[in-house]
Amino acid sequence: MKYHFQTAEDLIKLTKLHKVPISEIAKLYESQRSGSALSTIRNKMKLTRDIMYKAVKKGIKSNKKSIMGISGSDAQKVYESLKNLKKMMGNKVTVRAMAYALAVGEQNARMGRIVAFPTAGGAGVVPGVLFSAAEHFKAGKRKLLRGMFCASAVGIVIAEGSTISAAKGGCQAEIGAAVAMAAAGLTEMRGGTPEQCFDASAIAFKSYLGLACDPLAGLVEVPCIKRNAIGCMAAIGASDMVMAGVKSYVPFDEVVRAAKDIGRTMPRTIKETALGGLAITPTGNRLKKKLGLRITREL
C-alpha cells in the first residue's frame, strides 16, 4: 500500500516523499484504493463540486421555509448584504462564505439535494469557505478542486482517528471536522505547505473540541445552520493565522486523539439525542411539543 495513510504524520511524510501537495496524495490514495483512473476520480469530484454549487445557488435565492418552518431565509439576507459591504465588519470573502454556508444548510433543511461534506450537519462549511475563496482567486476553479481533495484527506484522518458522527462525538465531530477540513483546504488553495495545512486544521479543530450536539427537537436546523456560517469564520481565521506564521502548539494527530477522548466521555444527552443543552430550553421544548415529542426536562 504505497499511498496508505491514517494520520497527519503519514500524510505529511507521503507529501515529502513524492514532493506533491496533500490534494495529490488524496487522489493517488483513492485511485489505489478503488482501482479507478485518476481522471475518473477528478471527474467524480467535479460532479460533487457541481452539486454543491447548485445547492449554494438555489439556497441564496430561495426564502422558502424549512419543513418545520423554523429556518429558511437567512442565506438570502446575508447574501444581499454583500451589496452594502461598507456596513459589514467581515470582508467580502468571509461574508460570502457565511451566505453560502447558510444556503447549503437551509437547502438541507428543506430536504433539497446537497453533498454531505463530511456529513449533512456540517455540509455548509467546506463549500462556503472554498467556493467563496475560489471566487476571490485567479484560476479559482482548479484551485477549488485542490481544496476539496485536501479537505477530504483531512476528513479521512479525522474519521480514522476519531469519528465524524455527532451521535458518537457531538458537534465537534461534524461541524468541528468540517471546519478543520475547510481550514486545510483553504490553506492549500492559498499555497500553504502540507504542514501549514495541518497547523490550520489543528488550530480550527482545537476551537471546536467538546462542542455539544444539542439541536432543537433533533432537527438539523437550530443551531446547526448558523453554526455552519460561524464555522466558516473560524476556518478562514485559522488559515489566516497560519499564513501569518502562527503554528499550532499541539500537532493535529494529538488533537484528533483528544477529540476521540472527549467524544467518548461526553454525556449522551448532548450527542444528537435532543435530551440536553439547547434542545431542553423553554424554546426547545415548545418546538418539541409542537412536533409531539416527549419532553424530558426543562432548564
Partner 1 sequence: MNEISIFDIAGPIMVGPSSSHTAGACKIGQFARALFHGTPRKVTFYLHGSFAEVYKGHATDRALLGGVLKMRTSDPLIKDSFKVADKKKIEYEFKKKFLGERYHPNTVEIVLENSRRKLSVIGSSVGGGVIEILKIDNFNIRLRGRAGKYLSLVVRHDKNKMVIPKLKEKVNALKGIRVHDVEQRTYKDKTLSILHTKGRRIKLPEVIELEKSMQHVDFIRSLSKLEKQ
What's the rounded Cα separation, in Å, for the pair 100 and 105? Answer: 9
273 touches partner 1 (CB under 8 A): yes
148 touches partner 1 (CB under 8 A): yes
89 touches partner 1 (CB under 8 A): no
Among the listed residues 121, 128, 161, 284, the single contact to partner 1 using CB under 8 A: 121
Chain length of the chain:
299
Among the listed residues 76, 132, 152, 228, the single contact to partner 1 using CB under 8 A: 152
Q: How far is the CB of 274 from partner 1 (least distance, A)?
A: 5
125 touches partner 1 (CB under 8 A): no
Tell me the CA distances in angstroms from 187 to 34, 182, 197, 238, 262, one per residue in order: 27, 8, 5, 9, 27
What's the rounded Cα separation, in Å, for the pair 235 and 229? Answer: 10
Q: Could you tell me which stretch among 85-93, 149-157, 239-247, 254-262 binds partner 1 (CB under 8 A)? A: 149-157
Would you put residue 112 in left (φ > 0), alpha (ψ -120 to 50) or beta? beta
For residue 21, whether the previous peptide bond is cis, meaning omega lies within 30 degrees of 0, is no
Among the listed residues 15, 94, 132, 165, the single contact to partner 1 using CB under 8 A: 165
Angle of the 194-207 helix axis to the 224-243 helix axis, nearest 10: 140
Query: Are the C-beta atoms of residues 160 and 6 closer than 8 Å to each other?
Result: yes
Q: Which residues bind partner 1 (CB under 8 A)?
A: 1, 4, 26, 29-30, 33-34, 41, 44-45, 47-48, 51, 67-68, 107-121, 123, 148-149, 151-153, 155-156, 159-160, 163-168, 173, 181, 217-221, 268, 271-275, 291-293
